[in-house]
Amino acid sequence: MPLDRPFDPDTIRAWDRDHVWHPFTQMKDYVARDPVIIAAADGVRLQDIDGRWYYDGVASIWLNVHGHRVPAIDHAIRAQLERMAHVTLLGQGHVPAAELAHRLTSWLPRPLRRVFFSDSGAAAVEVALKMAVQYWANQGVERPKVLGFTTNYHGDTLGAMAVAPDPTFHWPFLSYLPPNPRAPFPYCYRCPIGKRWPACRLACLEAVEAELARHRTELAAVIIEPVQGAGGIIPAPPGYLRALRALCDRYGVLLIVDEVATGFGRTGRMWAIDHDGVVPDILCLGKGLTAGYLPLSATVATDDVYAAFWADVGDKKALYHGHSYAGNPLAAAAALANLELFATSSLLADLPAKSAQVAARLAPLADHPYVGDVRQQGLMVGIELVADRATKRPFPYAVQAGYRVADAARERGLLIRPIGNVVIFMPPLASTPADLDAMTARLCDAFTAATPALADLAAGTEEAPV
């Protein structure tokens, strides 16, 4: 594909280095590493400013669904652009938002019918938290807290951080965040109560129940990711979400499910809640909503939650939250085209076979001397590196062990972005079997190539806390 907009790669490199402050990136490290700068994309591959092609092994941070430059989505955005690029949703409507809310809810369990649009996953979570707290406040009940889980991640805004505080990422803000209780997540590889699934019969839920019992009068909701993403691709075991729903019902608190990362087919079903047949009170969607094209997110609530906000203006029960670009029409048009592709293509039907293919191709990694655990649900894969397989001793965060593999993968034409010790592989869902073969082969080669560097790191690192 020709690059039709001329640029000088060295100038772009200099401007990027001198002016762009990259998200979630230590810039000192970034400028030292000859960073990848992308100029174009096509299908499941990305082209850098020097003309090199790479597979998009993390779906452009977990959001790309049908690949890049998909004619139907490109066309939908262009057609919408002919009508209008943006108008507000504050106190007025627009055509693509109405169409999208209608279409989206037809894909969701029936009680989830009320769609509040925002523009990022974090904003969708922020809205969910505020909805939950205000749901009670509007009924005259003060319940200011939300129960989160250990190793969770819900975004980088203050509310999202407050339910998922992380000493590595959020240390400057910890005293700034309102305290919320937290329960252990079912991280089976490092089971918080030293048991094994399925023999454990989800015994770790007892700790969740204890938190619910202790805080029941102050808890508005529980928030959970069905598969923890940034925590290291950790799927909750089968049945866990259903049991959690039952606990929430028993203790009378709302359930918020954050499907920003898992929604839109990522776990092999349209929604991760489908695996357990669970209906939350509030559902957060983002990332794949526009197939990875434009910023748009949604917080979807049940009729019951919505009803608590229905009042006279003077009662001040409205949800006073909104972003200027919430529900942007171009993004909504992309999302509609995305859903149309889900409805008309074999994408969802093909996912079980693709997921099985990836599992088979990556199976040898379980024997790698520095791999502790290979976790997968659908096309969401996390491979946890450990300095010692017998003791599960992690590599210290500072050595960035995952980058030994990511750098080797980049040399082989596959871009991935690890988080700490977890190498993450999340290809676009539309990757063909041939694409998946090519990507997994590169990934396995990268693990082999990184072995000596990982051995050096393992030999040179002290015991680190788990």
Ligand X SMILES: Cc1ncc(COP(=O)(O)O)c(C=O)c1O
Residues that bind ligand X (CB under 6 A): 120-122, 125, 153-155, 225, 229-230, 258, 260-261, 286
Nearer residue to ligand X within complex by CB, 233 or 454: 233
Least Å distance, CB 363 to ligand X, is 26
Least Å distance, CB 374 to ligand X, is 20
Nearer residue to ligand X within complex by CB, 396 or 402: 402
Nearer residue to ligand X within complex by CB, 154 or 393: 154
Nearer residue to ligand X within complex by CB, 128 or 243: 128
- Residue nearest ligand X (C-beta atom): 121
Strand partners, 324: none
Nearer residue to ligand X within complex by CB, 295 or 372: 295
Least Å distance, CB 174 to ligand X, is 19
Question: Of 222, 60, 252, which Cα lies nearest the Cα of 152?
Answer: 222
Least Å distance, CB 382 to ligand X, is 12
Nearer residue to ligand X within complex by CB, 267 or 431: 267
Least Å distance, CB 214 to ligand X, is 25
Exposure string for 89-124, b = 16+ CB within 10 A, e = fewer: beeeebebbeebbebbbeebbebbbbbbbbbbbbbb
Nearer residue to ligand X within complex by CB, 281 or 435: 281
Least Å distance, CB 233 to ligand X, is 10
Strand partners, 223: 256
Nearer residue to ligand X within complex by CB, 153 or 370: 153
Least Å distance, CB 119 to ligand X, is 8
Least Å distance, CB 298 to ligand X, is 12
Strand partners, 371: 385
Nearer residue to ligand X within complex by CB, 43 or 288: 288
Query: Distance between CA 424 and CA 405 in Å, rounded?
Result: 10
Least Å distance, CB 116 to ligand X, is 15
Give CA 466 to chain center in angstroms. 23
